[in-house]
Structure formats: structure tokens, C-alpha cells
Amino acid sequence: MTSNRKALPMSFQDSSPRAPITYITDGATDSPPRRCWQIARGVGLLFACVVFALLAACSVSIGTSADTPVEKTSDIAVGECLNIGEKADDDGKVHASKVACDTDGLTFYAASTVAADGDCAGENSASLSFPDDPQKLCMTPNFVNGACYQIPLPGGQLVDYRKSDCGAAPAATTVIAETVTRSDASVTCTDDQTAWVFTQPESIGYCLRAVESATAS
């Protein structure tokens, strides 16, 4: 069978200063120099900064009786998993629920907690803050080998981050990336892949490759 997707070279590179990135954020936008996806499209290059330490959100309970809401950092233990709802409320708050780590769809590991104004250890970590909680939750994505995910780009939101069909057209300000390899933090990736490594809650490494859907322009 001939694939209707083509791999796009994707690597992190140091970037020059640029305008601030708009995310659902609960903290200052100051950050160290950012690294970028370099995604080739035809003869042009799209540079897109993906700094998941900045991809932060506030959480609020809007769950159902089947959910175990995560309303504060103490509601989930390091190593357990949670998912993020696909919509934010009118105040920009998201729905976070504790789930089994093998739940279908994208889940995140609870990696650690830090002071609400602190930084997560992982370069590509996401974070959740909670009302009246002096700490915030740092999260590591739980990517499944061979699966594809929609990943927010500048101007995107944490709720845009989800599991996706590999051939799907990405939403605005997102990219579709395939998890080619899942290993530990010593993972080695090819030139057309990007290595994401994490040390919390355990040693995890991914090789990711951007893909372009057949319907993408």
C-alpha cells in the first residue's frame, strides 16, 4: 500500500528573538532562548517554536461522575496519568481528569510538582496550575509508539494537544507528528526526526517525525 503521507524533516534549532507566543498561560512569558521545529514544506521553511514549559494552563473541575477530577496538585501522584479536555471554558480553564495510563487518546504523566512560579525540569514539559494551590503540576506526554499526535504551535493552546489520525489535516497553529520510537532518555533519532527526552517521572525518550496529510496545502 502506498502511503498518502510524507515525512517532513523536523529538528530543534536555536532561534533568533521573536514576538511573544500566546498560549493559555498562568505565568510570565519570559523564557530562555527557544528551540524550534523546522518543518519543510515545498521550497519554504516554517519555523515554529514549541516550548511546552510555556504551554501552561489553569485547571477547573467540569467533569462527569465517571471522571476523577484533578483540582489540585495533591489529587494525583507522581507517575499517575491524567488527560486534558479538548475545550477550555470561557475563562480559559481546562478540564483535567486522572485516568489509567493506557487510556485511549493522549495522556500525560504527572512528572513532578514545583512552586507555582517555578520552572519544570523537562525542556518539553507542559504544566497545570490550580486556583489557591501554591504549586503547579509538571507533565510529561505519554506518547504511544507508532501513534500520531496533534501538537500546538505558537498561537495554539494546551487543549489542541491530542492524539490524531496520522493522515488528518492539522488544526490551525498545530502540527501532526508521529511517534516513530519510544525508548528511554538515551534514545537516538535519525536526521529527519526530533528527539524529545524526559527524566521525570522516569527516563523516557521519543523520536518524533512531522507528517503532512494528503489534504494539507
Query: What's the pLDDT at 155?
Result: 64
Three-class SS state of 69: strand
What are the E-state strand segments in the chain? 6-8, 13-14, 35-41, 44-49, 56-59, 68-69, 81-88, 93-99, 107-115, 126-129, 135-142, 148-152, 162-164, 174-183, 194-198, 204-212
Note whether 52 and 21 are within 8 A (CB).
Answer: no
Beta-carbon contacts of 66 under 8 Å, excluding residues fewer than 6 positions away, are none
Query: What's the pLDDT at 51?
Result: 38
Beta-carbon contacts of 78 under 8 Å, excluding residues fewer than 6 positions away, are 110, 111, 112, 113, 200, 201
CA distances from 8 to 11, 141, 194 (A): 10, 21, 11
Q: Which residues of 6-18 are buried (b: 16+ CB within 10 A; e: fewer)?
A: ebbbbbbeeeeee
Q: Is the pLDDT of residue 101 over 80?
A: yes
What is the pLDDT averaged over residues 147-155? 84
C-alpha of 46 from chain center: 19
Assessment of whether the complete model's pTM goes beyond 0.95: no
Cell numbers at 28, concatenated: 510570565
Number of neighbouring beta carbons within 10 Å of residue 213: 18
What is the pLDDT averaged over residues 126-155? 91
Q: Over the stretch 153-202, which tens digit does the pLDDT of each residue have?
A: 766 678 888 999 999 999 888 889 999 999 999 999 999 999 999 999 99
Q: Which residues pair with 44 in a beta bridge?
A: 41
Note whether 100 and 80 are within 8 A (CB).
Answer: no
Written as one letter, the residue type at 181 is T
Q: Is the pLDDT of residue 63 over 80?
A: no
Q: Is the pLDDT of residue 9 over 50?
A: no
Query: What's the pLDDT at 154?
Result: 64
What mean pLDDT value characterizes the chain? 74
